[in-house]
Structure 1
Amino acid sequence: MVLRWFREATDLKILAADAGGSIATAYRYLHEAIDVIAVHAPTLDDLLARAAVENWTIVCLNGTLIATDRCAAKSEPGGDL
């Protein structure tokens, strides 16, 4: 149920009906599963440290895009464009 919710964005009413349960139970199962997944996720500090060590060029946090005026290109004096 949780995988379908994450991967297919299936409506929780449909998931509950398919599983033969109530919507309240589907919500409870969904949030319990998200809590289990979250326990295994790295902390932001750990993730950023790994990104620095491995020289990642992009880090995507939960799909949120954050506007920035920074880029990797250098200006003639050597600063970031």
Structure 2
Amino acid sequence: MRHGIHPVSRPVLFRDRAAGFELLVPSTAAAQHTVAWKDGGTYPVVDVEISSASHPFYTGTPRLVDTAGRVQRFERRYGGAAQVRR
């Protein structure tokens, strides 16, 4: 193997602030900030918007989808209701 071409793997803390869930795993992800964790060590932290603790598939809770806004945006973009060609 060639030296110096592989990214460095190190423990990184992935944090889902909405669910209050944290997971410490080895990763090559770049992080801007560090945080002290439960074990007393300081680790780079990556904030994620959704994780297994907050994803609707894993939690079983439905998620509100703004379909009306999508339809209105489509009609604005393409000029009214779509017409079927025959």
> Do the two structures share a fold, i.e. TM-score over 0.5?
no
Higher strand share: 2
Greater relative contact order (CA < 8 Å, ≥ 6 in sequence): 2
TM-score (norm 1): 0.26
Indicate the structure with greater helix content.
1
When the two structures are superposed, what TM-score results if normalisation uses the length of structure 2?
Answer: 0.25
